A = this chain, B = another copy of it.
Amino acid sequence: MTDPLHIFFHPRGVAVIGASENPTKLSHGVIRNLVTHGYRGTIYPVNPRGGAMLGLRVYESVRDTPDPVDMAVIVLSAERTVEALEACGQRGIRAAVLIASGFGELGAGGEAREAQLQAIARRHGMRFIGPNCVGVVDTYAPIDTSFIRTMPVQGSIGFVSHSGAVCGGTMDWASAVGVGFSRIVSLGNQADVDVADALDSLSADPNTTVVAAYVEGLPDGLRFVEAARRLTAHKPLVVLKAGRTPSGRRAVASHTGALAGADRAFLAACQRAGAIPVENLEELVDAAIALAYRKPPAESRVAILTNAGGPAAVGADALHRQGLQLTDFSAETRARLQAVCPSGTMVGNPVDMLGGPQPAHYTAALRVLLDAPEVDGVMTMFVPQAITPPYDVAVAVGRAAEEAEKPVVCCISGGGGIGAAARALHAHAVPHYLTPARAALGLGVLWRCRRIQTHPAGEAGLVTGDPRGRAQALIEAARAARGTVLDAQAGAELAAAYGLRVPPSGLASHADEAAALAEGVGFPVALKRVAPGVVHKADVGGVALNLADGGAVRAAFERMVGSGEQGFVQRMAPPGGLEVIVGAQRDEQFGPLVMFGLGGAYVEVLRDVAFRLAPLSAAEAREMVTETAAGKLLAGVRGQPPGDVEAVGEALRRVGQLMTDWSEVAEVDLNPLIVSPAGEGAWAVDVRIVLR
């Protein structure tokens, strides 16, 4: 695909509006970075005062700048940024970076100003990044429109961030430990260019092999999912999202003014997109360097090579929590290790070379481990002691690991003075970590990446049938009755129209009608009171189950159903099935979400539920079932026969299809769906459908 942000990285000329000679001003920093970080196009400082700075002529107006000027960096107050963008538009500049804050993040007043920017851009056919951002960096072009002092070295990590400070902090860390980047995009309020544009751009960039993103809001969630899917088809993507908790959402709203959205929807979006979500800043960089420097392991069997048993034990626990296992060495591997390690080495796993290994021991032992067929990856650890310098060990590890296909991570701990060791490791394509837990996360992310690659979500194809006609009539009837909740019979019919298995049913207005209806659908039946405003029927005693004959139906009707109310009569589902819940809601950012879990009161107290975006592929529906406790019960426990898991997956897909087809439907709840033994289906006995 083509790079939608190409012009931001390869402008032939850049105007810097608001240029200042004062070296403490941000605009001075921008021009300094353009000059000193190697930009090869022409730089046009613009300031009404004119003059010269850093050897460049300062233009009094952007109108005066000579062609070509492909991009402007506007470093002015919020009010004057609006005017300047208009001037750039009139000048024919088609790309702009807007540094100022004071827009949407302020709330109502700022939002109006942000809308002005969007109107100007639309009028002139411009794209802009920001406002409230630090711009873009490309270490290969090269270009650096930020005012952050250090530019990272060339590397393969593409970095996208809604926060300028997160960019700055990451670049500061990267410089200290020698981690390279390809591109950095600071998006700020993303009033025009958004994270989806940035992902498409990094997808197209040949120098980027892995993308790390810090995001706050994803206003168009589906655009994000689609762009992320395009990217993850050939490059891994790690995402840190702020605002996943109530406190975080509050902080995000006041920062970039973004709506952080529901956490479960974000996680479902990551599932769909093949993205790897992480929880904090250290995990974001830890994951990025692992993915930048190493390939995923084939399987989950790892070895630890160490000079210290305690940290190795902590590392072993951390590896296990990442889903990795210590491998069992073959006799041959043990013998080869004995031959190259210092005497006294314990050649179990961990391989503990005790206090005195030389750098050469690390190289030799690591080569043995990387050769062993039972080893899929290695965590190398070194706790500095008085004798061997960490740098030498880093070079020794790097040498053995550099040419290997298998992943190697290296933990060298210490309070200070290990920057050189970290840089040496990174120069040899080995990610460095300060602690065993972080090194384990590095290997763990590679393993997650492997599982994403080998278990693709599958295409979310449509389920069969075209039930739209019947659905339309039911929804229109509910609307006509001014209802927002479909009555039980309409709900059952809509579900049946979508191919869900619903026991035969009907509505009755008096006891004799109910008894006749029961005769028609077949005994035993359930009778439910249907009254507006009564949602959880079990709460109000409005359900009678297992009514075996007409007399029982009549008695129950008389007892439960008031005058002016109706009774919903439905044949009972086959007995003995497991009750699960299938639900769907509509998320503001990501659209319809399908939910699966244990039925009844359990769903409320256990919170053991799976969410996915609709529509669902068959593989996704299966995954939803297997990852929950409900799925484990359905698999058959203690001699119980397995339930009809296929039918559950089918029901999940059909509910997802219903939500996808009808934006009028806000919620669907099958609570419970009663799951019969394998091959015998799953029954939607209580269908609740809410319209918007």
Contacts and interface: CB of A to CB of B under 8 A. Distances in A.
A479 interface: no
A538 interface: yes
Nearest to A179: B415
B419 A416 contact: yes
A390 to B, nearest CB: 11
Contact of A311 (B169, B172, B350, B638): B169
A606 interface: yes
Interface in A305-335: 307-321, 324-326
B309 A254 contact: yes
B281 A436 contact: yes
Contacts of A349: 250-251
Nearest to A147: B386
A420 to B, nearest CB: 11
A14 B415 CA distance: 30
A637 B416 CA distance: 55
A640 to B, nearest CB: 7
Interface in A207-237: 214, 216
B254 A310 contact: no
Contacts of A540: 639
A102 B638 CA distance: 48
B280 A314 contact: yes
Contacts of A346: 105, 254
Contacts of A414: 169, 172-173
A38 interface: no
A321 B177 contact: no
A311 B348 contact: no
Contacts of A653: none
A172 B242 CA distance: 33
Interface in A13-62: 24, 29
Given A251-B304, A317-B245, A416-B176, A435 B309 contact: no
A250 B311 contact: no
Given A177-B415, A282-B435, A348 B254 contact: yes
A403 interface: no
A143 interface: no
Contacts of A280: 314, 317-318, 435-437
B245 A604 contact: no
Contacts of A255: 309-310, 312-313, 350, 352
A384 interface: yes
Given A280-B437, A419-B416, A601-B637, A250 B173 contact: no
A30 to B, nearest CB: 12
A141 interface: no
A326 B250 contact: yes
A243 to B, nearest CB: 6
Of listed A176, A281, A386, residue having the most chain B CB within 10 A: A281
Given A29-B386, A309-B163, A173 B415 contact: yes
A672 to B, nearest CB: 13
A301 to B, nearest CB: 11
Q: Which residue, of A312, A536, A539, has the highest number of chain B Cβ atoms within 10 A?
A: A312
A172 B539 contact: no
Contact of A243 (B216, B247, B317, B384): B317
A172 B538 CA distance: 63
Contacts of A385: 168
A79 interface: no
Nearest to A319: B247
Contacts of A324: 247
A589 interface: no
A166 B311 contact: yes
Interface string A427-445: 0000000011110000000
B169 A243 contact: no
A175 interface: yes
A412 to B, nearest CB: 10
Given A419-B416, A608-B606, A638-B601, A310 B435 contact: no
Given A29-B386, A280-B437, A282-B437, A350 B413 contact: no
A243 B318 CA distance: 10
A595 interface: no
Contact of A317 (B244, B315, B354): B244
Nearest to A173: B415
A324 B248 CA distance: 11
B309 A169 contact: no
B604 A314 contact: no
Interface string A172-194: 11111100000000000000000
Contacts of A261: none
Contacts of A251: 304, 309, 312-313, 315-317, 326, 349-350
A303 to B, nearest CB: 11
A317 B404 CA distance: 38
Interface string A153-177: 0000000011111101100111111
Contacts of A481: none
B604 A250 contact: no
What 6 pairs across the A-B complex have the smallest Cβ distances?
A163-B310, A176-B415, A255-B309, A165-B308, A248-B317, A245-B320
Given A243-B313, A248-B317, A605-B629, 12 more contacts: A169-B308, A169-B383, A169-B414, A173-B414, A245-B321, A247-B316, A251-B317, A279-B437, A280-B436, A281-B437, A416-B419, A604-B632
10 contacts: A24-B387, A166-B310, A173-B414, A243-B317, A247-B325, A250-B349, A251-B312, A254-B309, A280-B435, A606-B606
